[in-house]
Structure 1
Amino acid sequence: MSDALASLVARLGETAPGLRVETGPGPAGLYAYDASNYRVPPQAVAFPRGAEDVVAVVRACRDAGVAVTARGGGTSMAGNAVGPGVVLDFSRYMNRILDIDEHARTARVEAGVVLDALRSAAALHGLTFGPDPSSHSRCTLGGMIGNDACGNRSVRHGRTSDHIEALEIVTADGVRAVADRTGLHAVDPQDAERISRLEADVRRLVDANLAPIRTELGRVPRQVSGYQLHHLLPEHGFDMARALVGTEGSCAVVTAATVRLVATAQASALLTLGYDDVVDAAEDVPEILRWNPTAVEGMDEAIVATMRARRGPDSVTGLPEGRAWLYVELDGDDQGAVDARAAELLDVLKARGRTTGGRVVASPAERRSLWRVREDGAGLAARLVDGGESWPGWEDAAVAPENLAAYLRDFRRLLAFHELTGVLYGHFGAGCVHVRIDFDPATDTGRTAMRRFLSEAAALVVEHGGSLSGEHGDGRARGELLEVMYSHRMIRTFAAFKEVFDPTGLLNPGVIVAPARLDADLALRELPLVETTFSFPHDEDGFAGAVRRCVGVGRCRSDAGGVMCPSYRATGEENASTRGRARLLQEMVRGETVQDGWRSTEVRDALDLCLSCKACSSDCPVGVDMATYKAEFLHRHYKGRFRPRSHYSLGWLPLTSALVGHAARPVNALLRGPAGKLLARLGGVTTKRRVPAFASRRAVRKALRTARTGEPAKTLLFVDSFTRAFRPQVAAATARVLADAGIPCTAEDGLCCGLTWVSTGQLSVARRVMARTVARLDNGDDRPIVVAEPSCAAALRRDVPELLGTDAARRVAARVHTLTGVLTDLAAPDWTPPALPDDVVLQTHCHEYATFTGRRPRDLLHRLGVRHVDEAEGCCGLAGNFGFEAQHYDTSMAVADLALTPRLDTIDAGTSTVVVADGFSCATQIDHLTGDRDIRALHLAELLDPAADRPGETS
């Protein structure tokens, strides 16, 4: 740390006691990126808890000459949320909803409030916030205000600026003020004169430039580029709040806002329309707008293909035939009337002759699935099914909707001329097109070509009367190009406006005014190949390409929906998110801020709370697989060194459990006594959990004898280490279920998938174990392999081929099924299971969720007759070795509290509800959480076992 930075941090310790300030390689690496192409490591990151903390930071930075950049969720795609000085992260603590006035239909919120949190709170009053960006699950109101964000329903609700009543700000000299629809007002009366002078300077500036402001600004609905000074015109009442929206933190720091809310629609309908291409789709937009829709969203085939490849063919349903699609949403007060309008609109569009098909989507599940495809567009377009990469930079242009088709036609010609490919999606009803392009920003030649294309694209959109930015802001991506769009006088007016507010250029320098070159500070560069043990077959550049998958869209920072990222949801810390870890791994590969490579303690600490749940490999739109990256890192980090004790005690569990099986009874008795706690401490294992009882070899042999059916075997039952060691009765039940379903098995015992060695990063041992398993299984037998333990099934399906890299490993992996999967795909058509309970609480294993997409226990249970399945969508928190490690116990329980514990708490004594959890870790966590409540999680095989008495049976 430099002396100047140390002095700045020391001053903040005095002026803002309790303010959290972080410096060093870890924070610099985490906050060097947003969701854009840019990388700007900060000197420090501050986490304010209130406006006074912000005042202290701004004043200290002003005196030290250090820049300040405000940041919300870090999802900016134009480089608006990275800066070289101090970054203010509002999302960590300043995330309170201060007030909701249902009668006035307003809410007062701090800048770090996530949009979905506001919408959930407002929904209790039948209200919502109108603008809804696709990043609604993690973007903050402060970020939306900074960019003037819009979203999917902007056809109806417009931009964020249309919904702002007042902004609470801190000026560049550390003065608190309120900007509202009548001007600026000091919070402290002592600052009234200072704020009055500032307002007077702005009024003089506007009065001197009325003509260009009236003629150049506010021409199309999505004209976000530059400053929105037309809100300050006399005819608009000098609306200072709306004028500061979209300034990207370059004029003042927004700490809170009063926003207008709108009523939630009582009824809605979603119409999906297919087209041969996006130009045909755009041609129909003017007609669609005549029907007063809430949303008109478009996308091309590349996004749909990637979603289906990553999450299974059933992940996108409800789309008609075509290579481009529009989503059209209508709303109203009566569902029947809305449905009739949707059907009528469909008939009109079919008669126009451009559509390849269309339908009104009635199923709520299909509608949710379709909106998820659209909302994940930025991530899905970043890493396509063919492995190609695409980048932002020209992802946000907008024209008047009636000009959209002509613009797209010319834009595609421009792409073709430059031999580039763009993946198109966006808000077609508002004329705003998002596109990610296969630039090559890693090389000098590629950057030169990228710069040439962007300059010509800017000229093209201006030729069509449009805006460089339609909602993402100019940032570092487009600030330099504003001179293509605006007159010199307007550019000078923008500069003068910033100077009034920020005369020393303290706030978010390099954007909008005096912008940095658009090809400066690009994150991507050519990197050397990194030697690894995993093969990373889906990434051309191996490990470096794998960690580069993260482009910062931040879906891992969502608090709900999907399973990732449990550690972030439990802690709220950026370095506990999938994105944060990926960014630090990228920095490790670069070797700049993180300079000690595989030995990095910053990376180790960030990975420490990763539960290796693998949910990110499915939920992350670009397929980041942090569990695999963590295993590779741990393998390299501890190579030739002593490991944490739990890596030995838990990592070698398959071997020790096999030995214990010969003396299970005395060992179990020992572990239940005082010696057990001592052994746990010595092994780095928490003493707050009861160690599961080991099964004896005799019990295992008995279970396998019971499993034999005498019928010709159609499947192979892989008896994994967890099932063998702790619940051999599950193997027997699985065999009976398979026989009952018409797919009898033979059991294969004595093999291991190597999972525990993988999760603790002991990859050399894992490979030896896996090689032995593959040699035994790849013997010409092509029968499906059924694995009762989902984590072991996932290891065989994914880790084995990626670690061994052999054809034999791939053949074995292709045969692996979970019990859910084999019953879904191969059970006899006339199979009828035993009577099942009406109600099931289900904990789906994260590895099954991530690896065996499209084969969900929830769907199978519904199909077999269970009426109500209450699924705890999220990690159980135990996650193999993680929750048994002493230092992770509290985090493990916090993760359980997110989804699993609330479900278990709904189960009353004597209820007929059954708890189902196939994963041994999940069942163990449930046993721990329920204590003496006499609730035991059943494996699916035990629930379906024709020979078992099941609690809660229906007759």
Structure 2
Amino acid sequence: MSETPVDRAGIDRSAGTRSLYAYDASSYRVLPAGVAFPGDIAEVQRILAECLGNGVPVTCRGAGTSMAGNAVGAGVVLDFSRHMNRVRAIDPVARTATVEPGVVLDALQAELAPYGLMFAPDPSSHSRATVGGMIGNDACGNHSVRYGRTSGHVVALELLLADGTHLVAERGGLRAADPTDAAAVARAAELAEGLRGIMGEHLGRIRLDLGRVPRQVSGYQLQHLLPENGFDVARALVGSEGTCAVVVGITVSLVPRPEAVQLVVLGYPDIVTGARDVPALLESAPAAVEGIEETIVDALRARRGPASVAGLPEGRAWLFVELEGPNPEALALEGKQLVTRLEGLGGLTAGRIVTDPGERAALWRVREDGAGLVARRPDGRSTWAGWEDSAVDPANLADYLADLRALLIAHGLDGVFYGHLGAGCVHIRIDFDLETEQGVAAMAAFAADAADLVRGHGGSVSGEHGDGRARSALLERLYGPELIAAFAQFKRLFDPGDLLNPGIIVDPAPLDVDLAPFVPLPLPVGSTAFAYPEDPAGFAGAAGRCIGVGRCRADGGAMCPSYQATREERDSTRGRARMLQEMIRQGPVADGWRSTEVRDALDLCLSCRACASDCPAGVDMATYKAEFLHLHHKGRIRPRTHYSLGWLPAAAALARRVPALANAVLRAPGTAWLAGIAPERAMPRFARRGAYRRARALPATGGGRLFVDSFTRAFRPEVLGAAQRVLGSAGGAPQPIDGVCCGLTWISTGQLGVARRVLRRTVARLSWGTDPIVVLEPSCAAALKHDAPRLLCTPEAAAVAARVRTFAEELEHRLDAGWTPPPLPGPAVLQTHCHERAVFGAGQSRLLARLGITGVAEATGCCGLAGNFGVERGHHEVSTAVAELSLAPALRAAARDTAVLADGFSCRTQIDHLGSPTRPRHLAELIADHLEEPR
């Protein structure tokens, strides 16, 4: 293959891209030779021909969330999620859909929703899991109690063999995709004959050992080739982890969406006691029975606050039981009867029925984020995949869990249990020591004993995640030599050259080969500026928080806006974290803090902070980006915008004296170019002289302080006046404090030495007293709350941070104290600032309801401007693409008289640039307009 970054076959061989694809969500690292993003079947065939001709193996990949190491390989990785992600056809009468392998499950569900149909399997990664990936490991999900595994819903698979032969696998055998292709017709017949030969040779063993428990996802699913199962080659290939053929098209069967659902949450003293009630629960034919332990809840409580788990009943382990049916009232009664029946069994601590859809979704998220939440436990210990997936018959589950816990103790290990208990599938993350040879050997010894244990319980070493690198070597302990020989025959029949994902299922290496979890190493030369109180290893430990679960690749929501706009792995939070990890490893990403690959990967990070609150593993890429820029540019000339925008608060202090001249300079030809500003952007105008003085003239009538940020003072002093009026009517206006700055523009551009000096002065001015500090600009509030303590590391900074409130939070306190707001109009479009959502929570929509504003349409993601990001030259296209994800459609859908609320200055600026017919306003302005004038 060519040595150029992207060769003639479309294979990207650059160090940065190869580094990104060296990982999945497992503890393995395998640097590929290249990565390709095919757009159609013909392109896949060209890539396969190139690889076959050079003896380079091929690994197929969707979202790359495999915990077993089956989505990484040393050859060429095919990522189907970027281009081959279309829904080709939906047949609502036949209840089938035909899709390409890269389509994300949630995207498919959205297209099926108008027909009242859905694809039944729903793994916890449904927001980013691709259907091709679900085929690869026979994914199941929370509702597998009712709907089973992916293999049970596959009608046909469109395949390419390693030599490019184009076939279709289905019930009854295989056929050529093009019936006029004589070579393909002959190859299909040859394969069918070979498969029947395998079945004839191993029929007894296949009948005895395969398909025994609901979640037996180990090895190849040869039981589907039995005559009584219709010789279903398509289903036999599900779960083959890309080792036999490249799937380029999938036809699946669909089921009706449930008309009503009811969630029952059950608390137990421990997970084993909860598992003992599973057989009784299954008698009620639930759609889902999921389990979690208290460590997951503790992690969520520590990361997102007590409110995030407020709906859980008393207990130290919980089962989530979901009932489905046509009648909500009947389901509610069924739920109550279920709780009563379980109380009679004696194991239940407490139970409750959850009727609110929002609360139900929040509780399900606790379960779905389990793996990421406990990757770093609240006590600081790391937990790892490797033996994170096994399954037994649900009737044997409690005894298996008790024995598995005892085995952990015998090996000196601890684990956090969760999983699909109704299907007998157990997930567990274990505190292996993967930093030493002895610890790795101990992991291998435990895995061998655990395989023997699950075999003794009649179960499977894999219940959902696939065998991959983690468990393939254990299959012989589970099945014995005859079935292993049958698996090898099956693999070589389809892939005689061992080109496709070699070493997975068949001919595996020991499970500790390629094991390379990220372990914090001494950093490249340079002193970091931030403290990382949750990470004893500092920046390196913080960057190592990412374990690859990929929530940042989800469609919709706040995280990660740049990935949603570009669909590039390097623009996801995970991609950036992996690049930082490679920098610390000193792998192909060279030059440490001076790395251009890392700089380029961080370039489109909007520093929106959504990952800080939404990433289950607690990655905070805005902080990491600021840290990197701090050291990357240290002692060097910086980009122009670091001076023009990074020093804007200082420039604004000068411009306030001569605003007319400053505005004229900003509008002058060439100014935008000199400042590095995108030509599509119009700079905001400085307020007229005297505007701030008039706004500040309102007297302080109450306690506390009102932080007047640089942008409010320079560009929108009317917000200060409005806030003083509102707070004055609500119990007392606090004393405005000006001449202070949160340092955010220096932080976001990585000028952390300057930011620290600015914050020292600000904290010194704010540190007397204990009254609240109300901040009108949400990003400034977040900087004072989050960044100041980590940059200054002083008790004074921590004390100031504890007193900071956003304007919205202050209004909540005033309402709690009995304030009656004026009647306010609806409807409204709400754009909550990303930093406010991340640091203070998404409480603005709740506040608007308390204020009586109805019909609120909330833009759920970033506005796209994100401080200096969207103003910088080269970022305008991504900035507007991010706005189109949520904000711009909400504005277009709103009537002309709809109020547009955006407390953040950058959000308001973006809304203006989008051409909104309604001027965006701070909430203080809307309320102030409806206050009664004093008589």
TM-score past 0.5 threshold: yes
Distance 1:643 1:9 in 2: 30
Once the two structures are TM-superposed, the CA of residue 211 in structure 1 deviates from its matched residue by 1.1
- Asked whether the 8 Å contact 1:146–1:245 carries over to 2, the reply is yes
| Equivalent residue in structure 2 for 1:724, among 680, 699, 713 | 713
Distance 1:525 1:76 in 2: 16
Q: Is 1:606 matched up with 2:616?
A: no
Q: Counterpart of 2:777?
A: 789
Q: Counterpart of 1:343?
A: 336
Once the two structures are TM-superposed, the CA of residue 944 in structure 1 deviates from its matched residue by 2.2
| Counterpart code for 2:927 | L
Q: Counterpart of 2:736?
A: 747
Once the two structures are TM-superposed, the CA of residue 360 in structure 1 deviates from its matched residue by 1.2
Cα deviation 1:163-191 (Å, max 9, x = unaligned):
00000011122211000001111123222
Q: Is 1:647 matched up with 2:642?
A: yes
Q: Is 1:133 matched up with 2:119?
A: no
Once the two structures are TM-superposed, the CA of residue 51 in structure 1 deviates from its matched residue by 1.2
| Equivalent residue in structure 2 for 1:925, among 910, 913, 927 | 910
| Equivalent residue in structure 1 for 2:761, among 740, 762, 772 | 772
Q: Is 1:414 matched up with 2:403?
A: no
Distance 1:203 1:822 in 2: 73
Q: Counterpart of 1:22?
A: 12
Once the two structures are TM-superposed, the CA of residue 6 in structure 1 deviates from its matched residue by 3.3
Report the secondary structure of 1:53's partner residue.
helix
- Asked whether the 8 Å contact 1:101–1:107 carries over to 2, the reply is yes
Once the two structures are TM-superposed, the CA of residue 37 in structure 1 deviates from its matched residue by 0.7
Distance 2:900 2:600 in 1: 35
- Asked whether the 8 Å contact 1:567–1:610 carries over to 2, the reply is yes
Once the two structures are TM-superposed, the CA of residue 210 in structure 1 deviates from its matched residue by 0.6
Q: Is 1:901 matched up with 2:898?
A: no
Q: Is 1:160 matched up with 2:160?
A: no
| Equivalent residue in structure 2 for 1:149, among 139, 149, 153 | 139
| Equivalent residue in structure 1 for 2:925, among 942, 945, 948 | 942
| Counterpart code for 1:168 | E
Answer with 33-42 or 20-29: which moved more: 20-29
| Equivalent residue in structure 2 for 1:738, among 691, 708, 727 | 727
Q: Is 1:823 matched up with 2:823?
A: no
Distance 1:186 1:267 in 2: 43
Q: Counterpart of 1:41?
A: 31
Distance 2:620 2:673 in 1: 31
Q: Is 1:553 matched up with 2:549?
A: yes
Rate the CA distance shift 1:549–1:227 in 2: closer, same or farther, 3 A: same
Q: Counterpart of 1:872?
A: 859
Rate the CA distance shift 1:447–1:232 in 2: closer, same or farther, 3 A: same
| Equivalent residue in structure 2 for 1:499, among 469, 492, 504 | 492
Answer with 819-828 or 451-460: which moved more: 819-828
Once the two structures are TM-superposed, the CA of residue 30 in structure 1 deviates from its matched residue by 0.7
| Counterpart code for 1:867 | T
Q: Is 1:890 matched up with 2:882?
A: no
Once the two structures are TM-superposed, the CA of residue 603 in structure 1 deviates from its matched residue by 0.8
TM alignment of 1:436-447, pairs within 5 A: 436-447=429-440
Rate the CA distance shift 1:582–1:341 in 2: closer, same or farther, 3 A: same
- Asked whether the 8 Å contact 1:8–1:60 carries over to 2, the reply is no
Rate the CA distance shift 1:315–1:10 in 2: closer, same or farther, 3 A: closer
| Equivalent residue in structure 1 for 2:217, among 215, 224, 230 | 224
Answer with 941-950 or 102-111: which moved more: 941-950
TM alignment of 1:427-466, pairs within 5 A: 427-466=420-459
Once the two structures are TM-superposed, the CA of residue 444 in structure 1 deviates from its matched residue by 1.6
Q: Counterpart of 1:203?
A: 196
Q: Is 1:77 matched up with 2:67?
A: yes
- Asked whether the 8 Å contact 2:5–2:12 carries over to 1, the reply is no
Q: Counterpart of 1:16?
A: none
Query: After the TM superposition, which parts of structure 1 deviate over 4 Å for at least 4 consecutive aligned residues?
Result: 7-11, 946-950
| Counterpart code for 1:703 | A
- Asked whether the 8 Å contact 2:823–2:930 carries over to 1, the reply is no
* Identity fraction in percent: 59
Distance 2:932 2:601 in 1: 46
Distance 1:8 1:629 in 2: 27
| Counterpart code for 1:650 | L
TM alignment of 1:281-680, pairs within 5 A: 281-524=274-517, 526-530=519-523, 531-560=527-556, 562-672=557-667, 675=668, 677-680=669-672
Report the secondary structure of 1:222's partner residue.
coil
Cα deviation 1:347-372 (Å, max 9, x = unaligned):
11111121111111111111111111
Q: Is 1:916 matched up with 2:905?
A: no
- Asked whether the 8 Å contact 1:834–1:946 carries over to 2, the reply is no
Rate the CA distance shift 1:868–1:316 in 2: closer, same or farther, 3 A: farther
Answer with 535-544 or 313-322: which moved more: 313-322
Q: Is 1:90 matched up with 2:80?
A: yes
Distance 1:946 1:7 in 2: 62
Report the secondary structure of 2:129's partner residue.
coil
Cα deviation 1:773-800 (Å, max 9, x = unaligned):
1122223x11111110000110011111
Q: Counterpart of 1:694?
A: 686
Structure 2 unaligned residues grouped into runs of 5+: none
Q: Counterpart of 1:268?
A: 261
Once the two structures are TM-superposed, the CA of residue 825 in structure 1 deviates from its matched residue by 3.2
Distance 2:739 2:99 in 1: 59
| Counterpart code for 1:682 | L
Per the normalisation by structure 1, the TM-score is: 0.95
Report the secondary structure of 1:124's partner residue.
helix
Q: Is 1:807 matched up with 2:795?
A: yes
Rate the CA distance shift 1:874–1:54 in 2: closer, same or farther, 3 A: same
Distance 1:121 1:830 in 2: 47
| Counterpart code for 2:304 | R
Q: Counterpart of 1:169?
A: 159
- Asked whether the 8 Å contact 1:833–1:946 carries over to 2, the reply is no
Once the two structures are TM-superposed, the CA of residue 517 in structure 1 deviates from its matched residue by 1.6
Once the two structures are TM-superposed, the CA of residue 608 in structure 1 deviates from its matched residue by 0.4
Question: How many pairs are equivalent?
Answer: 927
Distance 1:575 1:760 in 2: 20
Q: Counterpart of 1:100?
A: 90
Rate the CA distance shift 1:420–1:837 in 2: closer, same or farther, 3 A: same
Distance 2:304 2:723 in 1: 27
Distance 2:217 2:792 in 1: 51
Answer with 127-136 or 51-60: which moved more: 51-60
Distance 1:410 1:126 in 2: 43
Q: Counterpart of 2:677?
A: 685
Cα deviation 1:867-913 (Å, max 9, x = unaligned):
2211101000010000111210111111001100111112233x2x2
Compute the RMSD of aligned alpha carbons. 1.5
Rate the CA distance shift 1:154–1:51 in 2: closer, same or farther, 3 A: same
Distance 2:832 2:140 in 1: 36
- Asked whether the 8 Å contact 2:822–2:931 carries over to 1, the reply is no
Once the two structures are TM-superposed, the CA of residue 762 in structure 1 deviates from its matched residue by 0.8
Once the two structures are TM-superposed, the CA of residue 505 in structure 1 deviates from its matched residue by 1.2
Once the two structures are TM-superposed, the CA of residue 838 in structure 1 deviates from its matched residue by 2.3
Once the two structures are TM-superposed, the CA of residue 826 in structure 1 deviates from its matched residue by 5.1
Report the secondary structure of 2:656's partner residue.
helix
| Counterpart code for 2:729 | D
Distance 2:379 2:810 in 1: 28
Once the two structures are TM-superposed, the CA of residue 731 in structure 1 deviates from its matched residue by 1.6
Answer with 527-536 or 718-727: which moved more: 527-536
Rate the CA distance shift 1:447–1:804 in 2: closer, same or farther, 3 A: same
Rate the CA distance shift 1:395–1:192 in 2: closer, same or farther, 3 A: same
Once the two structures are TM-superposed, the CA of residue 524 in structure 1 deviates from its matched residue by 2.0
Cα deviation 1:418-471 (Å, max 9, x = unaligned):
222211111000000111111121222221221111111111111111100001
